[in-house]
């Protein structure tokens, strides 16, 4: 079973990448679970035709007895969807939320065992032990970093790699979600190389993604023949087949600035 986590700066497109990869893998016949760890809980919405599902933390906050059917929902082609949820920005501790919710999920459901692929859609940067919990608790065996070619997302990606290096965690690859920056593919490719890793996919900026999302669907479901769908399918295949990884060697900030010119 592949258990992967996609990390990257907030707003860089982790959720659309995660849901499209999930859908593409489901198309290929894999049984897939997606666990959204972001308090925004929008990892699964495009796999569920635009429906928002109750989050584990929401139910815990209501102090109700939670069962599998309350939090595990089947979406596109049988993809199992779970949303961890979390607090409003600025209060409480979202990291703790991830730890607690995942523990609860392990207790009440087999969704984390009976599948070929689990995707953890992890929020933002690794900022505390709670956000790194899926890795530290051994729930993730492959990690990917998503970035664009701009300085800030690269900075966040590099920081995440610092976290990985500290945890002795291996990086399986870098994915570029394009923002139409100049020389973007070359920049991210060089960045990945310097980390000791590879650029696995270059996802071009395509308005189809937003259009599908607004309608509540993944590109794979709504525009299966589009070019961008092909990119996601290729990435999904790469993820399922890839077994090389390395403990990343983060670059210096000066080097990062050089790279982004």
Partner 1 sequence: MSPVPKPLEPLIMHPRPSSIVAALYTLRDLDVDVVILHGPAGCSFKHARLLEEDGLRVVTTALDESGFVFGGHDELVNILNKVIEMFDPESIGIVGTCASMIIGEELHEAVLEVNPDVPVIEVEVHAGYRENTKGVIIALESALAAGILSEEEFERQKVLLNEATEVEKRHGAASKEYLEPSRGDTKYTVAKRIIQLLKEGKKCINILNAKKETGYMFADINAAVNQVAKDLGSDSVIVNMANLDENLGLDRVRGHARNIARDLKGMGVEVHEIIGGLDEYPVTGKTVSKLIAEKYPGFDFAVITGVPHAIPMDNLEGMEIISVTNGPRQVLPLKEMGHDHVMVEIDLHPKTLGVSNIVESEFGATLRELAREEMQ
Catalogue the active-site residues. 9, 14, 40, 125
- Please report whether residue 250 would count as binding partner 1 according to CB under 8 A: no
- Please report whether residue 100 would count as binding partner 1 according to CB under 8 A: yes
Among 65, 69, 89, 91, binds partner 1 (CB under 8 A): 91
* Angle subtended by helix axes 227-241 and 14-27, to nearest 10: 80
Taking contact as CB under 8 A, which single stretch among the options 11-19, 91-99, 160-168, 172-180 is the one that binds partner 1?
91-99
Min CB(57)–partner 1 separation in Å:
6
- C-alpha dihedral, 233 to 235 to 237 to 239, nearest 10°: -150
Among 36, 75, 86, 173, binds partner 1 (CB under 8 A): 86
Q: Judged by CB, which is closer to partner 1: 130, or 149?
A: 130
- Please report whether residue 60 would count as binding partner 1 according to CB under 8 A: yes
- Please report whether residue 127 would count as binding partner 1 according to CB under 8 A: no
Min CB(198)–partner 1 separation in Å:
37
- Please report whether residue 96 would count as binding partner 1 according to CB under 8 A: yes
For residue 214, count CB atoms less than 10 angstroms from its CB and return exposed for 0-12, middle for 13-18, buried for 19 or more: exposed
Exposure letters 4-30 (e unless 16+ CB within 10 A, then b): bbbbbbeebbbbbbbbbbbbbbbbeeb
Taking contact as CB under 8 A, which single stretch among the options 11-19, 82-90, 178-186, 249-257 is the one that binds partner 1?
82-90
- Please report whether residue 40 would count as binding partner 1 according to CB under 8 A: no
| 78 within 8 A of 117, measured Cβ to Cβ | no
DSSP string, 62-125: TTPPP-HHHH-EE-GGG-EEEE---PPTTSS-HHHHHHHHHHHHHHH-STTTSSSEEEEE--SS
Site residues for partner 1 per CB under 8 A: 57, 60-61, 63, 86-88, 91-94, 96-97, 100
């Amino acid at each position: 079973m592949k258990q992967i986590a996609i990390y990257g700066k907030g707003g860089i497109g982790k959720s659309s990448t995660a849901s499209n990869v999930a859908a593409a893998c489901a198309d290929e016949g894999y049984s897939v679970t997606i666990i959204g760890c972001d308090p925004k809980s929008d990892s699964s919405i495009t796999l569920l035709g635009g429906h928002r599902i109750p989050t584990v933390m929401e139910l815990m906050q209501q102090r109700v007895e939670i069962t599998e059917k309350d939090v595990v929902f089947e979406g596109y082609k049988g993809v199992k969807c779970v949303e961890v949820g979390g607090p409003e920005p600025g209060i409480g501790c979202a990291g703790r939320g991830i730890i607690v919710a995942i523990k609860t999920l392990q207790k009440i459901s087999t969704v984390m065992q009976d599948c070929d692929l689990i995707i953890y859609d992890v929020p933002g940067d690794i900022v505390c032990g709670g956000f790194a919990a899926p890795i530290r608790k051994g729930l993730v065996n492959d990690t990917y970093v998503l970035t664009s070619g701009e300085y800030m997302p690269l900075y966040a990606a590099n920081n995440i790699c610092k976290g990985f290096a500290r945890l002795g965690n291996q990086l399986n690859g870098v994915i570029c979600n394009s923002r139409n920056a100049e020389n973007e593919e070359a920049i991210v490719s060089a960045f990945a190389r310097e980390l000791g890793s590879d650029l696995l996919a270059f996802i071009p900026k395509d308005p189809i993604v937003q259009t599908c999302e607004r309608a509540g669907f993944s590109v794979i479901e709504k525009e299966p023949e589009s070019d961008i769908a092909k990119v996601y399918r290729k990435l999904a295949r790469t993820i399922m087949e890839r077994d090389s990884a390395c403990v990343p060697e983060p670059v210096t900030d000066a080097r990062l600035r050089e790279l982004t010119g």
